[in-house]
Amino acid sequence: MAATRSDPLVVKQLDFLGGMASVTGWRPDTGLPEVAFAGRSNVGKSSLINVLVRRRAAARISRTPGRTREINFFQVNADFVLADLPGYGYARVARAQREEWRPLIESYLRGNQALRGLVLLLDVRREPGAEDREMLDFLAAEDIPTLVAITKIDKYGVAVGAERVAAIVAALELDPDQVLPVSARTGAGRDELAQAVVDLLR
Ligand code: GDP
């Protein structure tokens, strides 16, 4: 076997710092850089965060009742803060309720000096939705460096998966360099994502 590459992100310590529940609510003030994760409900965000930090239960905290609509913050080593944004665009609730996430997420992101970048997750099987486009527009307007993780690529074979990724890149006019196909199920793309996050922090 080839020598294993060194892990770009070795998580020795992971601490849950707390949640931001309202526009004027508590948010961390660690002085550390922050990287945020966002995407529509069910995109696979909890699963991917768990794989990224190699902790089965990390993002489970974010799913406990009362926390699903908060921004949940985790400190990774003495290095950075990972912000797990609430999933948006849940189709089965009314538009007004669907929009609840927006003020909280936008107030967290807007003018955030600690924020080094955001990882936006998109499901490989879905056409990007209005919320995804609005999020990308918002991030561009705010000059927030953005990575796009295309999740669940294990759902397709290599060729079809690559076609789907290319279709999403074209639909959203993404820079292919900002796009990372990933699978929480197989671990594909985990190290590339870890490296990209580390690069954002530099
Ligand atoms: P979240 O709502 O964005 O946090 O999404 P979850 O991580 O809870 O995942 C939503 C659903 O997608 C669950 O049923 C997961 O098992 C499934 N899922 C998540 N990641 C993957 C993946 O990489 N591959 C596959 N096939 N399913 C996944």
31 in the Ramachandran plot: left (φ > 0), alpha (ψ -120 to 50) or beta?
left
Domain residue ranges of the chain, discontinuous segments joined by +:
14-201
What residue owns the CA closest to ligand 1's atom 15? Answer: 44
pLDDT of residue 1: 52
In angstroms, what is the C-alpha Rg of the chain? Answer: 16
Profile the chain (202 residues) by mean pLDDT over runs of 10 residues.
78 95 95 97 95 84 76 96 90 67 93 97 96 96 98 98 98 97 98 98 94
What residue owns the CA closest to ligand 1's atom 24? Answer: 152
1-9 CB contacts, 8 Å cutoff, 24+ apart: 5/191, 7/191, 7/194, 8/191, 8/194, 8/195, 8/198, 9/52, 9/53, 9/76, 9/194, 9/195, 9/197, 9/198
185 Cβ below 6 A of ligand 1: yes
pLDDT of residue 96: 66
Residue of 41, 46, 47 to test ligand 1 pocket, by largest number of atoms within 8 Å of CB: 47
Ligand 1 atom having least distance to the Cα of 121: 3
Ligand 1 atom having least distance to the Cα of 50: 7
76 Cβ below 6 A of ligand 1: no
* Contact (CB, 8 A) for 167 and 156: no
pLDDT of residue 67: 77
Relative to beta strand 34-39, strand 71-76 is unpaired
pLDDT of residue 68: 77
Relative to beta strand 14-20, strand 80-84 is unpaired
The CATH class, in words, for 14-201 is alpha beta
